[in-house]
């Protein structure tokens, strides 16, 4: 701050340096802020903080077009990911370097060289080496769809540009293995978590900010909470999801809010739902390359006529979060850039529940038709939950809550929604 004040004052009052000097001071101040953040955590055991600061520097050097410094921090970030076995993120990080290169035999300028690939002399050689490593890292991270995407670009070069059929045949065999792995290997769906850091006790890049984290393989909420709090020994876990007070946000202490969030499939991919495609393929698209997430908080609001049926008074507070980049990416977490909170009425909640139930039931049926050898247990459990009113409350509760004349008299504007709920119940019968 002192540097900024002194230099800005000098430049603004200088006839020649006013414009260029002010721009220079602003750039240097931003760089100093990021370097000081980086210096403060460089010896920290928390590698996630080091990754965050590395990305901040990496973004800064990209913005001012300093390619040699940008590549240096790309390599640092990649090494940090490999140390933590974050193979998918390491591959996405290498992609940043590959985007600076083209498929040509031009000699590499010194600014684009990498100490990790000292033998690569041309754009093509370095780009190919990066692609090979990306494919291997995606394979280790079980992100075979991403590996195939890189393979297809490399295949085009081997087949149409340099006619290297030896490399092409080897690449095609590898691609066949990836397709096989997608269909035959069990991949647990990753869990996603919202983490909010409140208070001035955190480093500046975390203070009063909210992030979405992608959990590690088989990591559930309790495991994630334990791991996060172990890295923040001075932090206090907030037990409620209510927004923090101004006192908490401005306090010198550390407060953390953690909860599970559900990924929302991109609208462009929703066309996959209901199609006779494999469950493995569908599940991948539901939980990967996602940038929108949501979580819900149920609450009861007393209403005339709903005293005897909890479904008639069960409202939902829904929060939808949007991150700066899709996950997975160059980090296992990204900041939330937009949030929207709204309330869902009991009737709309019932419609949403029925839509989700029918959709899941339809997907299970399609999956079993496609592959009769799949375990029958998930389908039988779903059927039991729908048919046995003691487990799920049954459709009877919806009929009592919303189909009576009293409800329609109190809410004449809901006539179309009531019809929609009736249609969904009717749709479920042939599925059962």
Residue 271 shares a structural domain with residue 388? no
Question: In this predicted model, what pLDDT tens digit does every residue of 133-161 receive, in sequence order?
Answer: 999 999 999 999 999 999 999 999 988 88
Q: Are 145 and 284 in contact (CB under 8 A)?
A: yes
205-209, 274-278, 290-294, range with greatest mean pLDDT: 290-294
Least reliable range by pLDDT among 212-226, 227-241, 258-272: 258-272
Residue 155 shares a structural domain with residue 197? no
Residue 179 shares a structural domain with residue 222? no
Residue 196 shares a structural domain with residue 135? no
Q: Give the pLDDT band of residue 391 (cuts 50, 70, 90).
A: very low
DSSP secondary structure of 46-66:
-HHHHHHHHHHHHHHHHHTT-
- For residue 131, being part of any structural domain is answered with yes
| 400, 406, 410, 416: CA torsion to nearest 10 | 60
Other CB atoms within 10 A of residue 59 CB: 12
- Could you say which DSSP state residue 191 is in? P
Q: Which CATH number does the domain housing residue 127 bear?
A: 1.25.40.410
Q: What is the mean pLDDT of residues 24-45?
A: 69
| Cα–Cα distance measured from residue 7 to residue 25, given in angstroms and rounded to the nearest whole number | 7
* CB hemisphere CA count around 223 (13 angstroms): 9
| Cα–Cα distance measured from residue 258 to residue 237, given in angstroms and rounded to the nearest whole number | 8
Residue 180 shares a structural domain with residue 192? no
Q: Which residue has the higher pLDDT, 22 or 186?
A: 186
Residue 75 has pLDDT above 80, yes or no: yes
| Cα–Cα distance measured from residue 272 to residue 175, given in angstroms and rounded to the nearest whole number | 23
Angle at 350 between CA 345 and CA 354, to 5 degrees: 150
Residue 427 shares a structural domain with residue 285? no
- For residue 135, being part of any structural domain is answered with yes
Question: In this predicted model, what pLDDT tens digit does every residue of 85-96 receive, in sequence order?
Answer: 999 999 999 999
Domain residue limits at 222: 188-344
| Boundary (domain end) residue, out of 329, 344, 359 | 344
The residue written with tokens 């993120």 in the block is 89
Q: What is the mean pLDDT of residues 181-201?
A: 91
Secondary element (H or E) of residue 184? helix 165-184
Helices of type H across 64-106: 67-83, 87-98
| Model confidence, pTM | 0.82
| Cα–Cα distance measured from residue 41 to residue 52, given in angstroms and rounded to the nearest whole number | 10
Query: What are the structure tokens assigned to 207, written together?
Result: 């203070």
- For residue 21, being part of any structural domain is answered with no
List residues bridging with 323 in a β-sheet. 336
Residue 97 shares a structural domain with residue 213? no
Q: Which residue has the higher pLDDT, 75 or 352?
A: 75
Q: Are 303 and 312 in contact (CB under 8 A)?
A: yes
| Cα–Cα distance measured from residue 289 to residue 278, given in angstroms and rounded to the nearest whole number | 18
Residue 201 shares a structural domain with residue 225? yes
Q: Which CATH number does the domain housing residue 425 bear?
A: 1.20.58.740
- For residue 231, being part of any structural domain is answered with yes
Q: Are 29 and 4 in contact (CB under 8 A)?
A: yes
Looking at the structure of the chain, the number of domains it has is 3
Exposed (0-12), middle (13-18) or buried (19+): which is 408, by Cβ within 10 Å?
A: middle
Question: In this predicted model, what pLDDT tens digit does every residue of 199-209 receive, in sequence order?
Answer: 998 888 888 99
Average pLDDT, the chain: 84
- Could you say which DSSP state residue 404 is in? S
Angle at 6 between CA 18 and CA 203, to 5 degrees: 115
| pLDDT at residue 89 in the model | 96
């Amino acid at each position: 701050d002192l540097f900024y004040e002194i230099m800005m004052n000098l430049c603004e009052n200088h006839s020649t340096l006013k414009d260029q000097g002010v721009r220079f001071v602003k750039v240097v101040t931003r760089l100093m802020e990021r370097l000081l953040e980086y210096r403060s955590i460089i010896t920290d055991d928390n590698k996630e903080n080091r990754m965050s600061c590395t990305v901040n520097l990496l973004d800064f050097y990209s913005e001012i077009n300093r390619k040699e410094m940008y590549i240096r921090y790309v390599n640092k970030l990649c090494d940090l990911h490999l140390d933590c076995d974050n193979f998918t993120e390491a591959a996405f990080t290498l992609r940043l370097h590959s985007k600076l290169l083209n498929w040509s035999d031009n000699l590499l300028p010194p600014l684009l060289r990498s100490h990790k690939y000292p033998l690569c002399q041309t754009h093509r050689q370095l780009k190919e080496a990066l692609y090979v490593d990306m494919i291997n890292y995606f394979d280790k991270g079980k992100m075979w769809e991403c590996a195939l995407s890189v393979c297809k670009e490399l295949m085009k070069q081997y087949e149409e540009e340099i006619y290297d059929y030896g490399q092409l045949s080897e690449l095609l065999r590898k691609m066949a293995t990836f397709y096989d792995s997608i269909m035959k290997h069990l991949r647990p769906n990753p869990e996603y978590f919202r983490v909010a850091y409140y208070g001035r006790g955190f480093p500046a890049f975390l203070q009063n900010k909210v992030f979405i984290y992608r959990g590690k393989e088989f990591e559930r909420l309790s495991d994630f909470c334990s791991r996060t709090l172990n890295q923040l020994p001075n932090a206090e876990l907030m037990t409620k999801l209510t927004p923090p007070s101004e006192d908490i946000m401005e306090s010198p202490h550390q407060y953390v809010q953690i909860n599970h969030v559900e990924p929302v499939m991109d609208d462009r991919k929703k066309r996959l739902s209901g199609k006779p495609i494999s469950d493995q393929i569908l599940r991948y698209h539901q939980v990967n390359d996602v940038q929108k997430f949501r979580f819900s908080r149920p609450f009861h609001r007393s209403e005339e006529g709903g005293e005897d049926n909890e479904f008639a008074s069960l409202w939902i507070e829904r929060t939808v979060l949007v991150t700066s980049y899709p996950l997975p990416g160059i980090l296992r977490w990204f900041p939330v850039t937009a949030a929207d909170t709204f309330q869902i009425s009991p009737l709309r909640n019932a419609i949403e529940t029925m839509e989700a139930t029918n959709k899941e039931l339809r997907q299970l049926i399609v999956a079993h038709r496609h592959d009769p050898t799949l375990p029958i247990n998930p389908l039988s459990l779903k059927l039991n939950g729908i048919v046995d009113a003691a487990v799920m409350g049954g459709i009877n509760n919806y009929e009592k809550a919303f189909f009576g004349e009293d409800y329609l008299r109190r809410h004449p504007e809901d006539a179309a929604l009531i019809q929609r709920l009736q249609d969904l119940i009717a749709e479920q019968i042939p599925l059962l």
